[in-house]
Amino acid sequence: MKKIYTLALSMISALIFSSCVDLNLNPLSEGSSENWYSSAAEIEMSLNDFYRTDFFILDGVLWADDVVRRSDTQFTFNGTMTAENGTVASHWQNYYKGIARGLRILKNLEEKGGELGIPEATINQYKGEALLYIGYAYGMLAFRWGDVILDKTGMTLEEAYSASRSPKSEVVAFALECLDKAAQLLPTECGGVQRFTKGAAYAFKARIAIYNGDYVNAATAAKACMDLGVYSLHENYQDLFTATTSPEWIFVFKGDYALKKYYWIAGDTRNYMPRLAPGGWAANNPSHELVCAYTCTDGLPIDESPLYNPKAIFDHRDPRMAMTIAPFAQPASECVVNGTYDPADYELFGYEHSPSPLKNVVVKISDGSYANNVDSKACALHAAYNGFVLKKYADPETWTAANNYVGVNAYPFLRYGDVLLMYAEAMNEQGKCDQAVLDATINKLRERAYRGTGIEYPKVTAGSQSELRTIIRTERFVELAAEGHRYEDLIRWKIAEVVFNRPVYYLERVWSGTSNWINGGSITPLDPAAISDTYVKLCKNWEEGNYPIGGVPEIDENGIADVRYMEAAGYVVKATERQFNPARDYLWPIPAADRLINENLTQNPGY
pLDDT of residue 529: 86
Band (pLDDT 50/70/90 cuts) for residue 34 is low
pLDDT at 2 over 60: no
Residue 20 has pLDDT above 60, yes or no: no
- Please tell me the predicted confidence (pLDDT) of residue 18: 28
Please check whether residue 383 is in contact with residue 375, taking contact to mean a CB–CB distance below 8 angstroms. Answer: yes
Tell me whether residue 463 is exposed, middle or buried, using C-beta atoms within 10 angstroms of its C-beta: 0 to 12, 13 to 18, 19 or more. Answer: middle
Q: Is the pLDDT of residue 30 over 70?
A: no
- 427 against 22, higher pLDDT: 427
Cα distance between residue 382 and residue 290, in whole Å: 21
pTM: 0.94
Query: Which of the following CATH numbers is that of domain 9-186: 1.10.150.120, 3.40.1380.10, 1.25.40.390, 1.20.140.10?
Result: 1.25.40.390
CB-based burial, 310-349: b 16+ in 10 Å, e otherwise: bbbbbbbbbbbbbbbbbbbbbebbebeeeeeeebeebbbb
Give residue 32's pLDDT: 55
Q: Name the more confident of 593 and 190.
A: 593
**Mean pLDDT score, 280-304:** 98
Helix 198-211 crosses helix 416-429 at what angle (to 10 degrees)?
A: 40
CA dist., res. 38 & res. 113, Å (int): 9
Q: Is 519 exposed, middle or buried (0-12, 13-18, 19+ CB in 10 A)?
A: exposed
**Per-residue model confidence (pLDDT) at position 521:** 78
* DSSP tag of 256: B
Of 165, 169, 178, which Cα lies nearest the Cα of 205? 178
Look at residue 1 and tell me whether its pLDDT is greater than 70: no
**84: number of CA atoms within 13 Å, CB side?**
1
**Residue of 135, 126, 137 lying closest to 43 (CA atoms):** 126
Confidence of residue 4 (pLDDT cuts 50, 70, 90): very low
**Could you read off the pLDDT of 482-503 as tens digits, one per residue?**
999 999 999 999 999 999 999 9
Distance CA 245, CA 262 (A): 16
28: which residues sit within 8 A by CB, 6+ positions away? 35
Q: What is the mean pLDDT of residues 438-459?
A: 98
Nearest to 268 by CA among 461, 81, 430, 406: 406
The domains of the chain are located at 9-186, 256-408+503-576
For residue 28, the model assigns a pLDDT of 39
Say if residue 548 is preceded by a cis peptide, omega within 30 of 0: yes
What's the CA gap between 393 and 106, in Å, rounded?
A: 38
**Mean pLDDT to the nearest integer, 274-284:** 97
Q: What is the mean pLDDT of the chain?
A: 93
Residues 153-189: pLDDT tens digits? 999 888 988 999 999 999 999 999 999 999 999 999 9
Tens digits of residue pLDDT in 356-403: 999 999 999 999 999 999 999 999 999 999 999 999 999 999 999 999
SS3 320: helix
Beta bridge partners of 348: 351
At 300-346, the pLDDT tens digits run 999 999 999 999 999 999 999 999 999 999 999 999 999 999 999 99
351 by DSSP, 3-state: which?
A: strand
Most confident of 109-123, 147-161, 183-197, 419-433: 419-433
Specify the length of the chain in residues. 607
Percentage of the chain beyond pLDDT 90 is: 89
